[in-house]
Structure formats: C-alpha cells, structure tokens
C-alpha cells in the first residue's frame, strides 16, 4: 500500500459476519511480543493487530470487559481488503 492510500474499514455488520475468532498469539518475528490474529469461518488468518497498540487504544478498561472491548475495537477496524482473503 502506498503512503497516499487510506485504509478503509469494513462496515461493522460485515466484519461481524466475516470474523470467527480473535486469538492472542506470539509474534513469530519478534519474541516476547504479542499479536491478535483474526480468523474467518474457514479457519484462515485474515489479518493481525499489534496487541500493545490495541490495548493502548481501548485503555483504560476493566479487566472483566477487556476481551469484549478488544473484540469491538478489532471489528470496527477490520480492513476492507480482508474480504479478499
């Protein structure tokens, strides 16, 4: 993607239908770093988000609501190119 291209996000309703799971995983390229990997209903990886960046974006949040807030953030920020996966 060039610098001038703006990331477009899927509408929330479309993202909800596409996403089957969001898993916290180890970053294979950076030890001691976590990512949130997004999977579709075919168990295929759609994209990933930096764990620390997402947590910073949703903070502060009560621990009991953390998973829900993270999921909502990701569903509102799923790139439109995820449909091409």
Give the percent of the chain with pLDDT over 70. Answer: 95
**Of all helices (H) and strands (E), which one includes residue 37?**
strand 34-40
Q: Considering its fold, how many domains does the chain have in total? A: 1
Phi, psi (rounded to 5 degrees) for 28: -65, -25
Tell me whether the omega of the peptide bond preceding residue 60 falls within 30 degrees of 0, making it cis.
Answer: yes
- Looking from the CA of 55 toward its CB, the CA atoms found within 13 Å total 9
> What integer pLDDT is reported at residue 4 of this predicted model?
64
With respect to residue 5, please indicate whether it lies within any of the assigned structural domains: no
> What integer pLDDT is reported at residue 67 of this predicted model?
95
> What integer pLDDT is reported at residue 5 of this predicted model?
75
With respect to residue 1, please indicate whether it lies within any of the assigned structural domains: no
Q: How confident is the model at residue 3 (pLDDT cuts 50, 70, 90)?
A: low
Tens-digit pLDDT profile for residues 38-72: 999 999 999 999 999 999 999 999 999 999 999 99
Residue-number span of the structural domain to which 60 is assigned: 12-84
């Amino acid at each position: 993607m060039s610098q001038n291209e703006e990331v477009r996000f899927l509408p929330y309703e479309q993202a909800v239908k596409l996403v089957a799971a969001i898993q916290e995983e180890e970053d294979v390229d950076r030890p001691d770093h976590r990512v949130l990997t997004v999977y579709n209903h075919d168990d295929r990886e759609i994209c990933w988000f930096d764990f620390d960046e997402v947590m910073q974006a949703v903070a502060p949040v009560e621990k009991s609501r953390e998973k829900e807030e993270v999921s909502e953030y990701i569903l509102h920020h799923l790139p439109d190119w995820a449909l091409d996966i």
